Amino acid sequence: MPCFIATIAQECSPESMGDYNMSLRIGSIFIILITSAIGTFTPLLIHRARKYEQNSFQDWVLLIAKFFGTGVILATAFIHMLPDAMNNFGSPCLDPEWQTYGSWAGIFCMIASFALQLLELAAVSNSSRLKLQQSQSTKEEYDCEAPPTPTTPTTPTNPKNNFSEPPVDTRSIGSTTTTTPTQHPHPPHHVHSAGFLETHNAYKDINTIILELGIVMHSVIIGITLANTGADEFLSLLIALVFHQFFEGIALGTRVNGMHGDGWARPVIMGLFYIIMTPLGIGIGIGIHSSFNPNSPTSILASAILDSLSAGILLYNAYVSLMSLEINHSPEFQQYSITRKLICFLSMYIGAAIMSLIGKWS
C-alpha cells in the first residue's frame, strides 16, 4: 500500500521540463500562428478570388477541401478529444469520486450534444417566427393597398308589391358584374421562399459558429499542453500540432465559406479567432510553466471536461450538420455525378485517416 501511494504521488507531481528552451517555445507560437493562418485563409481566398462555375478547377479544390474537412472534424472528436477526456477522467490524480463512474467523458459529450440541439431548435423557431411575422406584414400591406372590388347592386324582390320592376340594361350588367382581382405585385410564394432561405442560412451560420467554439476550446488546451511538455517530446508534438492546426484550419475555412453573406468582415474575424487560440494557449503555458502542474487534479479535470464538451460539439456537427444535411438529405449532392460523389467520399475518408494518423503523436 505505501508503494502504491508513492507511485500515485509520483504520477501526480510536476513533470521535469529538462532543458526548457524558451526560444524554441516562443518560436512555436509563430510557427503555429502561420500554419493555422495558411490553412484557414486559403479556402477563404480561393472562394472569394473570383466567380467560378461547377466543375472548374476552383470548384474542385474547394469541394475536396470541404469534404476533407468533414473527415478532419470527425476524427478530431473521436481520436484527439474523446480518448484524452476518457484518460483524464480515469487519472489516479483525481478524487476517488470521479473514478467510481467510468463514463464521465460520455456524459459531458452527451450534454454538449443536447445543448447544441436545443440551441439550434431555438434558432430555427425564431427564424420561423420572424418569417411568419414578415408574411403577415406583407399580407396586411397588400390588403391596405388593394382597391375595393366593385359590386353590382341588386334590387330586392318584394312579393307584396304587384308593380313591375324598372327595366334593366343587360349590357351594363355584363360590363360591371365581373371584376378581375388585382394581381400580387411580387412573384408567387416569394415570402415563403425568402423565409426558407433565411431559416436555412441562420441554421448553417449558427452551426459554423458553434463548430468553431468546439475547435477553439480544444485549441487552447493543446497550446497549454505544448508549452508544458518535456524537452524530449516537445519537437514531435510541435510537428504533429502544425499539421493538426493546418488541417483544422482548412476544415473551418471551408465551413465559413458556406455562411450567409459575401463580405469579408465575418470570415476574417472568425478566421483570426481560430488562428490566435493555440498561440494564446502556448503563451499562457509559457507564462505559468514554472508554477503549473499539468498533473494536478484541477488541471486534469478542467482538461477532461473541456475535451468532452468539445467532442460533443464536433460529433453533433459532423453527423447532423455536415454528413447528414450535406450528403444524405442534400438535393444538390443527390444530383452530383457518380465520379463527383466518389471524390467527396474519398476526400472525407482521407481527411479522417490523416487526422487519425496524427493522433499517434499529438
C-alpha cell at 41: 485563409
Cβ-contact 311, 86 below 8 angstroms: no
**Tens digit of each residue's pLDDT (9 = 90 or more) over 307-345:** 999 999 999 999 988 899 889 988 999 999 999 999 999
Residues 13 and 36: their CA atoms lie apart, in Å, by 33
C-alpha cell at 238: 510541435
Q: Using the structure block, give the residue that is written with the C-alpha cell 489516479.
A: 92
Residues 33 and 19: their CA atoms lie apart, in Å, by 24
**Could you tell me the residue ranges of all domains in the chain?**
20-101+208-358
CA angle centred on 242, ends 241 and 244, rounded to 5°: 55
Residue 40 has, within 13 A of its CA and on its CB side, a CA count of 24
Cβ-contact 260, 196 below 8 angstroms: no
Neighbours of 1 (CB within 10 A): 5
For residue 240, give the nearest of 255, 256, 225 by alpha carbon: 225
At 264, which amino acid appears? W
Q: Where are the alpha helices (DSSP H) in the chain?
A: 2-11, 22-49, 57-75, 82-89, 96-99, 104-145, 170-176, 190-227, 231-257, 265-287, 297-316, 331-334, 338-358
**Tens digit of each residue's pLDDT (9 = 90 or more) over 104-134:** 999 999 999 999 999 888 877 877 777 777 7
Residues 134 and 226: their CA atoms lie apart, in Å, by 51
Cβ-contact 198, 131 below 8 angstroms: yes
pLDDT one digit per residue (tens) for the chain, 362 residues: 454 455 566 668 776 666 788 999 999 999 999 999 999 999 999 998 888 888 899 999 999 999 999 999 999 999 999 999 999 999 999 998 898 898 999 999 999 999 999 988 887 787 777 777 777 776 666 666 656 555 555 555 454 444 444 554 444 444 444 444 444 444 444 444 444 445 566 677 888 888 999 999 999 999 999 998 888 889 999 999 999 999 999 999 999 988 877 778 889 999 999 999 999 999 999 999 888 888 899 999 999 999 999 999 999 999 988 899 889 988 999 999 999 999 999 999 999 999 999 998 87
Coil, strand, or helix at residue 228? coil
User: Whole-prediction pTM value?
Assistant: 0.76
